[in-house]
Amino acid sequence: MSQRSCLSVILAAGEGTRMKSAMPKVLHAIAGLPMVAHVVKAAEAAGATGLALVIGHGAEEMRKAAQKFAPKAETFVQEKRLGTAHAVLAAREAISKGYDDILVMFGDTPLIDAGALAAARQKLAEGAAVAVIGFRPPNPTGYGRLIEKGGRLTAIREEKDCSEAEKKIGFCNAGMMAVAGKHALRLLDKVGNNNAKGEFYLTDIAEIAGAEGLDVVATEAGFENALGINNRAELAEAEGIWQARRRREAMLAGVTLIAPETVHFSHDTEIGADTIVEPNVWFGLGVKISTGATIHAFSHLTGATIGENSEVGPFARLRPGADLRKKAKVGNFCEVKQSTVEEGAKVNHLTYIGDARVGAGANIGAGTITCNYDGYSKFFTDIGEGAFIGSNSSLVAPVSIGKGGYIASGSVITESVPDDALAFGRARQKTLPGKGKELRERFASVAAARKKAAE
């Protein structure tokens, strides 16, 4: 089958009015990726060599989005919504190019597994003209039933047309199918609209192909594969299923999730073996974690790279461009953005590091901030290897702290500090004996006067 060419036609023209959104339904995300992009990934994993997106509502928005997740896909607009077969024929130009296999999929079924698609394609390789993907829902009510006889699919019967015996069939139509390319256009063109809605139904090609003496079969996929998304409640349900799958994959790959149900992954999260993830951690887009790291509870990471045996959190925020090298540490209530924290460096408490380099082995004291923005432009702070930044210091960029430099606590540093130098940037302390008591008495008198006036 590996030598067979395959076109995946993905139907994504639905308006999705039940989503209550101005955005096309299939662009709503699961794990940070539009649901239609999940469908594209499954098609590609199943060997699709061509992609045709049939779009309608929000066509221009869809085209722009497709440039990111399917840059080689052809897009076709279904001007009028006249049924699923009519939608597939919107991609006539692509179908006519002579692909061996045509996969018909839906942009709102993001949990479809590549294995289910490959199984349908395998049936075509074995000689079938049409392979319909079926599933067994917990409750088949409302679904079209797959009627089989002698190992062949004889009909796809909508529930309203089923006999009482047929209603007891638990094998239902998932909507997706594979069609032999040499038969596809002919079968699609034979689909009529002689039905109550006057629409052209893709399911009719099963009976049309059977009437021609062609082999029509059904394959079975898991229930989740056919889960279509029509509203935000179903979107959340699909998100939960996707997350459960990904968590299990991570744990089986050697990652410890102490409370798996509280950890959120994005579709592109990379996490190495022997990493420990504590409860309530959020991995946004673009996170890469090497082996042996520890991510403590309530941390939020996006666009960050975490080196081997590094430690993050608890309550840490790593923003895009945060790059922690081997054995680096970013501790509680710290934020790092567009900065490198080199090997063994420590940013332990209540600190902001932005647009900076923290050299290997450096120690950043509690309450330190890099003042990287003047309201118009961003500036860089360079902290050298082994430097010690005392607590509650402000490093006003652009500035550099040399190798082994020492910054006294409470300093505001506006000029660069040479290697091994000690820098103070704070006002001289002045102590006035008895003045504290005098201030307390004055403040108490003012407060009493205000209280009396209010009465």
CA–CA gap between residue 410 and residue 233 (Å, rounded): 51
Rounded (10°) angle between helices 35-45 and 59-69:
50
Residue 415 burial (C-beta neighbours within 10 Å; 0-12, 13-18, 19+) = exposed
CA–CA gap between residue 445 and residue 426 (Å, rounded): 33
Q: Which residues, including other chains, have CB under 8 Å from residue 189's CB and lie 6 or more apart?
A: 89
- How big is the CA angle at 254 (ends 237 and 286), to the nearest 5 degrees? 60
pLDDT of the residue at 408: 94
pLDDT of the residue at 22: 87
pTM to 2 decimals? Answer: 0.89
Distances (CA, A) of 318 to 243, 331, 334, 366: 21, 11, 8, 17
Q: Which residues, including other chains, have CB under 8 Å from residue 255's CB and lie 6 or more apart?
A: 271, 272, 273, 274, 275, 276, 277
Question: Whose CA is closest to 331, among 379, 382, 295?
Answer: 295
CA–CA gap between residue 125 and residue 103 (Å, rounded): 13
Are 179 and 187 in contact by the 8 Å Cβ rule? The answer is yes
Residue 188 burial (C-beta neighbours within 10 Å; 0-12, 13-18, 19+) = buried
| SS3 letters across the chain | CCCCCEEEEEEECCCCHHHCCCCCHHHCEECCEEHHHHHHHHHHHCCCCEEEEEEECEHHHHHHHHHHHCCCCEEEECCCCCCHHHHHHCCHHHHCCCCCEEEEEECCCCCCCHHHHHHHHHHHHCCCCEEEEEECCCCCCCCCEEEEECCEEEEEECHHHCCHHHHCCCCEEEEEEEEEHHHHHHHHHCCCCCCCCCCCCCCHHHHHHHHCCCCEEEEECCHHHHCCCCCHHHHHHHHHHHHHHHHHHHHHCCCEECCHHHCECCCCCEECCCCEECCCCEECCCCEECCCCEECCCCEECCCEECCCCEECCCCEECCCCEECCCCEEEECCEEEEEEECCCCEEEECCEEEEEEECCCCEECCCCEEECECCCCECCEEECCCCEECCCCEEECCEEECCCCEECCCCEECCCECCCCEECCCCCCCCCCCHHHHHHHHHHHHHHHHHHHHC
Q: Which residues, including other chains, have CB under 8 Å from residue 175's CB and lie 6 or more apart?
A: 84, 106, 109, 133, 202, 226, 228
Q: Which amino acid is located at 226 in the chain?
A: A
pLDDT of the residue at 2: 59
Structure-token match 């139907």, residue found: 11
pLDDT of the residue at 349: 95
Is 349 catalytic? The answer is: yes
pLDDT of the residue at 1: 52
Q: Is the peptide bond before 71 cis (omega within 30 degrees of 0)?
A: no
Are 247 and 262 in contact by the 8 Å Cβ rule? The answer is no
List, for the chain, all residue ranges whose pLDDT scores fall below the cut of 50: none
- Say how many CA atoms lie within 13 Å of 38 toward its Cβ: 27
Domains observed in the chain: 6-226 (3.90.550.10), 232-423 (2.160.10.10)
Q: What's phi and psi for 381, nearest 5 deg?
A: -115, 130
